[in-house]
Each structure stands twice: as C-alpha cells, then as structure tokens.
Chain A
Amino acid sequence: MRRLLAFLFVLVTALPAHAVTVERVVSPGGIEAWLVQDHSNPIISLAMAMRGGAGVEAKPGLAHMVSGLLDEGAGPYDSQTFQGKLEDLAIELSFDAGKDNFRGNLKTLTDNRDTAFDMFRLALTQARFDKEPVERVRNQILTMLARELQNPETVAARAWYRLAFAGHPYAVPVRGEPDTVKAITVADLRNYTKTWLTREGMVISVVGDITPEQLKPLLDKTFGALPARHPAIAVPETQAQAPGKIQVIQRDNPQSVAVFGAAGIKRNDPDWYAAYVMNYVLGGGGFSSWLTEEVREKRGLAYSVYSYLTPMDHAGVISGGVATQNARTADSVRLIREQFARMVTDGLTDKELADAKTYLTGSFALQLDSTSSIAGLLVAVQLDDLGIDYLDKRNGYIQAVTKEQVKAVAQRLLDPAKLTFVVVGKPEGL
C-alpha cells in the first residue's frame, strides 16, 4: 500500500501563515478594533462580542431572547420599519448569545456603511422591546424549543449538559426552557441590555472595504454610548460531573443518537495544543480519525462519529457524538471507549503526529474564505486573548507539539471509564 502512494510525496509545507494583515485601530474615544482591509469587493463585515452571555442572565433564556429582539425595533423605528430598512439596504445585522458571550454581526455594502453602523448602534443602545415583537419572538422561541425536542441530537446534547453541569449555569440551555421563557418580562430584557451590553471586555473585528481613518469615528459613534463597565461575572469555575454514567432517554426511533463527553481543558491551558492535535487524530479529523476509521470505515456502524474540544470560560469539555441503529448502538459505545483507551496507552505514532501537523497547519488558511469568516475568526482570537500576531504564530504552536505531550494529555483527559453517555433512542444492550 505504501508503494502505491509514492507519487503523492508532494513536498508539504505550511501555507504562509496567513494572507491577511491585521491592524489594531484605536478610536479617539479609546475603542479598539482589529481591522483587515480588503478593497476588492464593496463589502464590510463586522463581528463583535461582549462578555457574560447566558452565564450571567437572571432567567434561563434571557440573553438569547434579548439577542432575538435587538433588531426588532430600536430608536425611532418600530420593528417593521427597522427590518424594512435593513432589507431595502441589504444590511445583514444579527445577534446571538452563547454560554459566556453575547455576539453581534453586521455586514453591509460600502455604499450603506454609515447607515449600517448607525442601525447597529441603535440596536445595541436603544432597543425598544415593544409588546408585539416581544410576544412574537417569545412564541418563536417556544416553537423552536418544541421543534428541538423532535431532534434527538439536541435532546441528547442538552441532557448531557444537564447531567454534567448540574447546579451550574452551564447546565441550562442557552435558549432556556418553555417555562422560563414564558416568565421573561420586558423589565428583564431591559435590565440585561443595560447591565451586560457594555464596553468592558468588548472585542470588535472589521474586515473589508474600509480604512482605519474611516473606521475610527464610526467606532466612537457606534459603541461610544455603551456603558463603560459591567458587574463582576460571578460564574464559578467547574468541571464536568457524572463520570462513567450512561443515561438512556427512550425515543421510538430506529437509530440511537449518543452524545458522550468528559472533563476537558480550557483554551488557556498549557496543554491546549497537545490536546488539539490529539483530538484531531482521535475524532476531530473526519476520515483521518480513529473514531471514523473504527466505527464507520471498518464496520459501517455510523454515518457520522466525531469528537471535539469545547473550551468555555469556566470549564472545558471533550465531547463527541455518534448515531447507530438501535441493535448495534452498544458496539459503537464500546468502540468509542476502546479508542479513548488506545490513545491513553499507545498515543500517536510518528507518522500520525506528522500527518496531524500537516493537516492542522496547512488547513488553517482555508477558513479565510469570506469577510465574515475572517471577522468571526478574529473575534474568537481576541476573546481567547491570543494576541494580534496569533495568525502568524499559531502554526508554530502546532509544530511544537511532541508525542510525549500528546500522551500526557491523553492520560489526563481520556480515561474511558469516566466518559459520560446520553443515548436517545431504543438502544439494545446498554
């Protein structure tokens, strides 16, 4: 087999770390943004994030509901006027809430730049929360929650977080529960907005057809009216609980959907890059991963099987998923545990480590596909405090990972006896 691959020994070197230049832009009012200029298309994308998210909300689902309402009427415009203006000018403006952050995205044609930024300002600072949109969005969320109960992947993932983080905000779905969403008041919405949409810890990235001189005054106009500070974030540090447990949720489906996971690591952990390389080989690397090889390619037990690292601000998780017909679900569960155990005992071969590095360094630039994907990446880099030169340095961090580091982090994270499973379906033999 090796012989046949001879023609593929292309000399593989990592891409020039990045093809984009990131500039730090600071407005006269002291608001910072990272900018990538790209004048090839008359488009500007902005991405931003604020700290807190669902972790600090007073009622489950509140931050998410706020994110759905900021563009439903603000300042002088009611909901239909606001939305109509966005649509007529092809301005894309949206918000969403995560467990630790509240994020916003804006995309506009250069011609409508000033209007677009002003609409974004109004949404952030003068959301109206009129009765009609509040009730409409509440009902949309309730509908979404009901529909998600039809989706075994979502049911399993939520149950997993409830089990692993019982008693902690991370146990609560970001979208809330029907009863908590029904209980949210306009006062709650206003309170969250006033308290948590602030400049403290805010990060901004802008990509596209705009210069630093054009951006600076827009930063002050758009974000200058936000409060300077938010209260201290009191979410406690935690770790995934319920090690080794299997929870089965009966559902009359032909296929069981399993979500599995255990305590992982945070983004600032010194072992991060070793864990990242390890997870690529274990279950992150699609057809190059052990899980796909053993579960799908050798046995045809699943269409999709994977693992990934989820670093949050106050805990880390390594988790994954698989979906297998009920009669063979136990086989998939066994194989997943075996691959975890194999990584702990065997670690990686030299070739596996080299291949992982080639992929992880070579593919990094592939995500620089559009203005909005670059803006999103730069927000993530800022949230994780990785430095403005991260795009240059990142491949070096991957290259520096050794087999010994991978094995050590596998021993730290991958005890198969500690894996927690939630299975939705009618699995046999579990």
Chain B
Amino acid sequence: MRIASLALALAIAAPLPAAAQVFNPTTYQLANGLQVVVVENHRAPIVTHMVWYRVGAADEPPGKSGIAHLLEHLMFKGTPTIPPGEFSKIVARLGGRDNAFTSSDYTAYFQNVAADRLEAVMKMEADRMRNLTLDDQNVVTERAVVMEERRSRTDNNPQALLTERVEAALFLNHPYRRPVIGWGSEIAALTREDALDFYKRWYAPNNAILVVAGDIEPDKVRALAETYYGPLKPETVPARIRPDEPPQVAARTVTLEDARVQQASWSRTYMAPSYSSPDKAAPYALEVLAEILGGGATSRLYKSLVVEQGVASGASAWYDPTAVDQSTFGLAATPRPGVDVPKLQAAMDKEVRLVLDKGISAAEVERAKTRLKANVAYARDSLHTAARVLGEALSTGETVADVEAWPNRIALVTPEQVNAAAKAVLDDRASVTGILLPAKGGTVARAQPMMAPPAKELR
C-alpha cells in the first residue's frame, strides 16, 4: 500500500498504457484552479475517484529525498475532522478501496467505490487537500514503515538496488537521479516539519487534477466538485524548475556484484526526450521504435537474441514518454543459462548497430503502428486505466487534447522519424549499462538443498 510507483519499473511492467482518443473525457476548471476530468463508463455501478498533485520526488529540496513519498503516507494521518488512521477505515466502511502512489513527477490518491458513495469520499479527499494535521508520534511510526518499505522494495532486492544506482548514474544533475522512496539515511532524518512544509508548498487545488471515471454523469461530478473542492483556497505554487541536465559525453557502466544474485542481467538506459521536450514528433517515433525493438515475441530483439541466436532468455525495450523533464529509453536482456554477460552484450550491441547502420524499414513501422493503435480499445475497457492515463498525462504537462490525439499522432509517424529518433537516442555516450552479477568467487547456491520430488506413485 502507499505504493512508490517508480516510473521506470512501471514502464517495464506495463508497456504503453496506451492513451487513446476513445476516452472522450469531459474536462473543465473550477474557479480556484482545480482541473476536473470525467470519463463515463456505465458497465458497473462503480466509480474511481482520483486526485493527482503536480508534485513528486523530483520536486524535493536537496537532502530531503523521500519527503514526497513520506507525505503521501502521512496524508492518511488525520485532519481536524478525520482522526489519524481513520481515512482508509472509513472508505472500507463505505464498501470501497483506497490507496495512493508517488512518482518523480506526481503524487496521486484514489478511492474505488460504488457510484452512490462518490460524495462521501470526495468530501474526505477535499478535506485533506488543505487540512492535514500531524503529530510527531505518527510521523515517527510512519517513517519506520517507510524504512521497512525501502528494505522490502530495494535493499532486499539486488535487481532493484542496481536499477536505483543506474538511475543515479544516468542523471548527472537532474533530481530524477534520486530514488522516489528516498535514500535510507535521508528518510531516517525526515521530520514532521519537513512533511508539513512540503504539503503547504504544493498541496492546493490549483496544483491538482481531479479525475472521476465510472458510472456517473459529468454534471453530477461538477456539482459535487463545486461543493467540496470549490471552496478550497488556491495558493501561489512554485514553478517546477529543476536543475538542467548537462550534455552527456561519457558512457558509463554500473556493475553490482552481490552474493544474493542467482541470475545475472543486463540493461542499457539512454537519455531520451519526453512529451515535454521541444521536439514534439520524437516521443511518438520512439514509442514506435520501442515496439519494433521490444514489443513482444516477434520484435527485433526477442527474435534475434532469444529465438534465433539463443543467447538470451528474455530481451526487451522500454520507453515511457510521460515526464515533466527528460525521459529514458531502455534495452534489457537476461542471459540464457550458460551464456556470459559479455557475449550477451556483444549480441545486443550488434542489434543496436544494425538499427543505426541499416535503419528500420517502412513495413516494420507500419506493423508497429497497427499494433499500438489496437491497444486503444483495450485501454478503454477498464475505467481504472482511463483515470490513470489521464491523471498521469495532466500531472506531467500534457493536455486532454494531447491524450486524445495519441492514435492520430502515432499514425503520422514516418520511417524517417523513427530512424532519426533512433540515431539521436541510441548513443552510448548518453547511456548507462547496468550489469547484475553473482559475487566473484561465490557460488550460485540453492536457497536450500534440493528435495527429491515426491514419489511418482502418489499420482
């Protein structure tokens, strides 16, 4: 719960939560600056109610890494009308489920409830937008919870530890180099005052987006939003000006050798533009490129490394263009048993070279575009997907029109654009290679001695 949604991990897990024309949302702004988005879906009498704040880990003051995420946890710790720890219990008593998540660029809170309970959860969410109160004991206990969360997610997991260090190495100056959950020593020093300072600075209706999706009419949402969010006072919210990333000139490799590692892995993460970058065509070309390189069992990387050469068990490419600042483009592979990492890396280098030297064909681009566009209908199937895609877009600087134009913009991508984007992005000098290996001299041991399979006569 209270998930720290690390943008990269998410991009790998869920390739392209394809935004689409088909959401057909209704959108408007309240007088206090709150942006409201409503997506109707009448299949079941349920709604999802989400509030997204345009603030995340990349907006934290130096030395306070983890405060955006700790505050997200502390948002459940009370207001003058809702006692600490009661928020989620009240939602449960309404027959609903709630949670929250933090990324580098946004922080979001949601409740899934029966449509006729929307008013009750909206009242509580509006209340905690402006009225959070915290006591020291709650902060200290929740900070311990977050320390355990960090151990679970990162310190207990060598692959996650490597990913954290790769990101820290990739971004030389931009705060995307910091883990969303925070560095352990800095989390341990966060205080109630740090949390309240951050809250007061960023949590206001004019820095938030309300997304409601489900079995509800836009007019009804408008009336409720005016009632509960309407009276909240706007604030002067600082601009999200983050330190610039200098031009990158040196390829880096980060190797983690760890006795706990049982399975080696390889990845390369390149700096890449995002939807927020000046070049408005490149992100769409890169989405097509990621699909061609790593979008499934017939993609270039999978076909070559896994099927034909048999040097990898898995091979993939990822790209998530949704970001306030720069994004990343990634390649990853896992060696097949018996294959060493240098051999795998050589095979991957060759594939990249092939793209750069010979280019991507028009037929590959057409095929990838068709597949990407087909995902649009599926994205519309779940009301949670719609809410999530719209909230993520709007909290990172896109507009509803951008989201709705996604299929058209993908359709306009040309082979020339894909090849130009590949040449611009697949540049080793702006990349970090991440290698996970078992500790030198160590043995790859089983967790426990192999037990004989149960006697066959049992069956």
Which A positions have Cβ atoms within 8 angstroms of B? 1, 4-5, 7-8, 10, 12, 14-16, 18-20, 38, 40-43, 56-60, 79-80, 83-84, 87-90, 92, 107, 109, 132, 135-136, 139-140, 142-144, 146-147, 149-152, 155, 158-159, 162, 167-169, 171-172, 177, 179-180, 234-236, 249, 251-255, 257, 285-288, 293, 296-304, 323-325, 355, 358-359, 361-363, 365-366, 368-373, 424
User: Residues of B within 8 Å of A, CB-based: how many?
Assistant: 86
Q: Which residues of A contact B384 (CB under 8 A)?
A: 369
- Is the CB–CB distance between B370 and A180 below 8 Å? no
Are A109 and B377 also in contact (CB < 8 A) when A303-B152, A368-B44 are?
A: yes
- Is the CB–CB distance between A109 and B145 below 8 Å? no
* Closest A-B pairs by Cβ, 3 of them: A362-B95, A300-B144, A90-B374
Are A172 and B453 also in contact (CB < 8 A) when A12-B94, A369-B44 are?
A: yes
Query: What are 17 inter-chain pairs, A to B, with CB distance below 8 A?
Result: A4-B82, A40-B42, A79-B297, A87-B296, A136-B306, A139-B337, A143-B314, A144-B313, A159-B447, A254-B151, A287-B89, A288-B92, A293-B85, A300-B140, A303-B1, A369-B383, A370-B382
Are A179 and B95 also in contact (CB < 8 A) when A87-B296, A301-B144, A323-B156 are?
A: no
- Within 8 Å of chain A (Cβ to Cβ): is B142? yes
- Is the CB–CB distance between B148 and A303 below 8 Å? yes
Identify the stretch in B163-171, B188-196, B254-262 within 8 Å (CB) of chain A at 4 or more residues: B254-262
Bound Cα distance A252, B146 (Å): 21
CB-based nearest B residue for A297: B85
Write the nearest CB–CB distance from B442 to chain A, whole angstroms: 11
Q: Which residues of A contact B89 (CB under 8 A)?
A: 287-288, 355
Bound Cα distance A172, B76 (Å): 41
Q: Out of A42, A80, A253, A358, which one reaches B156, CB within 8 Å?
A: A253
Q: Out of A135, A155, A369, which one reaches B382, CB within 8 Å?
A: A369
Interface string of B422-437 (1 = CB under 8 A from A): 0000000000000000
Between A147, A151, A172, the greatest number of chain B beta carbons within 10 A of the residue's beta carbon is seen for: A147
Q: Out of B261, B262, B367, B458, which one reaches A236, CB within 8 Å?
A: B458
Q: Out of A43, A132, A149, which one reaches B446, CB within 8 Å?
A: A149
- Within 8 Å of chain A (Cβ to Cβ): is B83? yes
- Within 8 Å of chain A (Cβ to Cβ): is B246? no
- Is the CB–CB distance between A255 and B152 below 8 Å? yes
- Within 8 Å of chain A (Cβ to Cβ): is B451? yes
- Is the CB–CB distance between B44 and A19 below 8 Å? yes
Write the nearest CB–CB distance from B25 to chain A, whole angstroms: 16
Q: Which residues of B contact A424 (CB under 8 A)?
A: 447
- Within 8 Å of chain A (Cβ to Cβ): is B29? no
- Is the CB–CB distance between B307 and A136 below 8 Å? yes
Are A79 and B307 also in contact (CB < 8 A) when A257-B156, A362-B114 are?
A: yes
- Within 8 Å of chain A (Cβ to Cβ): is B65? no
Q: Out of B76, B95, B112, B453, which one reaches A358, CB within 8 Å?
A: B95
Are A299 and B141 also in contact (CB < 8 A) when A12-B95, A366-B96 are?
A: yes
- Is the CB–CB distance between B157 and A150 below 8 Å? yes
- Is the CB–CB distance between B260 and A150 below 8 Å? yes
- Within 8 Å of chain A (Cβ to Cβ): is B375? yes
- Is the CB–CB distance between A10 and B378 below 8 Å? no
- Is the CB–CB distance between B92 and A90 below 8 Å? no
